[in-house]
Structure 1
């Protein structure tokens, strides 16, 4: 049984979230779901003690409720933020493991909204950085710093091409160099898992984008070659 005594939501209330959970457990209620989502995850991506306390019940609802699955995934994706709820997050380990299995089964069904549960699945594996950064590679741009000369390099992966360049706000992307995608056998770690999962589920475009993202780029300024994913993670690592 959850202890809601100190489990406040975005309004500081401790009683409204359990009421809403009971309501959506009884029947699918769009207005109740909308209010529940707002109280647990604000538009600014903040989450609250009530978010973690609600998570196990949302996961239990998830096999039969798309809204529950999506809200549970959103909470886990926001778990890396400064919410001061680390103990509550640790207490959700079983629910997160159950959500991970559920999301993996869902992805195997090849849903139309594949990217969102794919990102949620990354978050259940504590890959919060890629869960927040990864796009669908239809028109993606990533900013990195060259590890050799510190030039700011734009990486394009999508309909505009697959290249590194120096971005000029008047001329656009100049001095473009083709990216060098990683081969499937050359991938390792989370890059390999991401690529294999996308291939398994028939998402060729996503798999190709991941191969480029975890491949190599040439710096247009100094011509050195570097691993894109490593430098992107380094360039965007939050200051602790």
Structure 2
């Protein structure tokens, strides 16, 4: 059973959260206190305060609240079920806020991809879906470390300017074994893949929308030739 006890310093920081706007330095200190210094399951006691800011705060603070709440909940294992039950209303409010932000779209093509992916990760965390969603942030670097879900061979997946392929780990890229990635047909995507791509298109994240077709497309193991879907490989990794 989780017992939620905050030290005085953390309580002071939580008390400094304001609907009218909170200094960015307070948010930085909260990240350090809640995410890095507290057990994440205990730190989830801050979810009501974060949900209140997400629902009624200024835009920048709403994003910070959603991001921190998503990170805390994602790290709450093995108490996740208890946390979800205890703070169900707050998690629902956070999900509503992040859903509204994602539905609002982006100001320009490929603007702030990290913010977009962070929101997607938070949304999937609040929904208790796709535990590997934190790996989506790696799309910004266009490079993900994966393992073949059949033989567990380690490899790197590149989806960027240098091409779209799996390869044995190492550099330079022209000296390693490569297997080309085959993207999924966007019109044939289903389930989570289709949903994430729709969000990327609505958010004007053209690069991420394209990368998602490879993430939910077809890959070949560089060691033993096994065929698999990269998203399935991420889901199978511990």
With the length of structure 1 as denominator, give the TM-score of the two structures.
0.78
Question: Is the counterpart of residue 79 in structure 1 residue 61 in structure 2?
Answer: no
| Aligned-CA RMSD value | 2.9
- 1:133 aligns with 135
- 1:7 aligns with 4
Residue aligned with 1:94, SS: helix
| Cα separation, 1, equivalents of 2:4 and 2:224 | 53
CA pair 161-151 structure 1, distance change in 2 beyond 3 A: same
Assess if the C-alpha contact under 8 Å between 1:142 and 1:232 holds in 2.
no
- 1:122 aligns with 124
Q: Unpaired segments of 5 or more residues in structure 2?
A: none
Looking at CA atoms only, which structure, 1 or 2, has the larger radius of gyration? 1
- 1:28 aligns with 21
CA pair 149-36 structure 1, distance change in 2 beyond 3 A: closer
Alignment of structure 1 residues 208-219 onto 2, 5 Å: 208-219=210-221
Q: Unpaired segments of 5 or more residues in structure 1?
A: 1-5
- 2:106 aligns with 110
- 2:205 aligns with 203
- Which structure dedicates a bigger proportion of its chain to helix? 2
- 1:146 aligns with 148
Shift of 1:27: 5.3
- 1:60 aligns with 52
Shift of 1:223: 3.4
> Which is further off, 96-105 or 136-145?
136-145
- Which structure dedicates a bigger proportion of its chain to strand? 1
Report the number of matched residues. 225
Question: Is the counterpart of residue 47 in structure 1 residue 40 in structure 2?
Answer: yes
| Cα separation, 2, equivalents of 1:102 and 1:147 | 35
| Cα separation, 2, equivalents of 1:219 and 1:26 | 50
